[in-house]
Every structure is written in structure tokens, then in C-alpha cells.
Amino acid sequence: MKFRATIILMYLTSVFWAVFAVTWLFGGKVYRIFYFVNGLGFAVVLFILTYYLNKKYRWAWWVAIIMAGINIVLTITDQVGWFDLAYLVPAIALFVMLIVIRKEVNGKKSLTGVGDEIVNSDAK
């Protein structure tokens, strides 16, 4: 159940970033393209990581935990406003949930598939 909730939160976060990017694109600010590209890029990368994390690839968990940690640090060190504080709650929740599902993901599948036989041979 925890794993499924983490996957859902990751998908929701990627949708949030896609909506954030499109909102900035249609804003009248000079730097709107910068925010659009960065927000959409983050959304796409998070979506891809969620897809592979759902298949329980170990590398996807590592990249997701690093990205979530960097995202929290950037949210705190940016010009903190009410929107940043509101986003900080699900960002921290995602980070904590990724830590909680660590045992469920680590040791399952590597990027190359090497070592999968060892994990799956515990029934012998």
C-alpha cells in the first residue's frame, strides 16, 4: 500500500509540474520560457522515474531520492513565499515515502539485470 501511494504521489507531482510549466508559459513575464522548460523537464523526468520505479528498478529509486532531496533544498533556499511553503509539504512527504519504500525497491532489479538471479534465488 505504501509503495502504491508513493507511485501515485510521484505521478501527481509530475502533473503538478506540467501544469506549473504551462501556466508560466502563458504568463506575461520575460523569464516565462525558462520556467516553462525547467518545469516541463522536471515533470517529464519525474514521470519517467515513476514509471521505472513502479517496475522496481533500483537506479530509479536512487535518482528519485536525489531529485526529491535537491527539490526540497531548492524550495527552501529559493525566495520562499506562500506557494513554496504549500509545495514543501508534498515534497517532504514524497521524500519520506521514498525512504519508507527503500526496502521494497532495493535489491529488486538493477539497470543491467545483473544480480537479479541472486535476489530471486532465495527460494532455493
How confident is the model over 82-95, as pLDDT tens digits?
A: 878 888 999 999 99
State how far the Cα of 87 lies from the Cα of 72, in Å rounded to an integer. 9
Average pLDDT score, the chain: 84
Question: In this predicted structure, which of 28-42, 47-61, 72-86, 100-114 has the lowest mean pLDDT?
Answer: 100-114
**Per-residue pLDDT at 111:** 55
CB 7 within 8 A of CB 102: no
| Residues paired with 109 in a beta bridge | 57
The residue-averaged pLDDT of 3-28 equals: 90
59 contact partners, CB below 8 Å, separation of at least 6 = 52, 110, 111
pLDDT score for 26: 87
Least confidently predicted of 3-7, 12-16, 63-67, 111-115: 111-115
- Domain segments of the chain: what residues? 2-110
Cell of 65: 531520492
- Taking alpha carbons only, the member of 105, 106, 74 closest to residue 92 is 74
Task: Look up residue 91 and give its three cell numbers.
Answer: 515534497
Which pLDDT value is given to residue 94?
Answer: 94
Phi, psi of 57 (to 5 degrees): -85, 130
Q: Is the pLDDT of residue 12 over 80?
A: yes
Average pLDDT over residues 74-83: 82
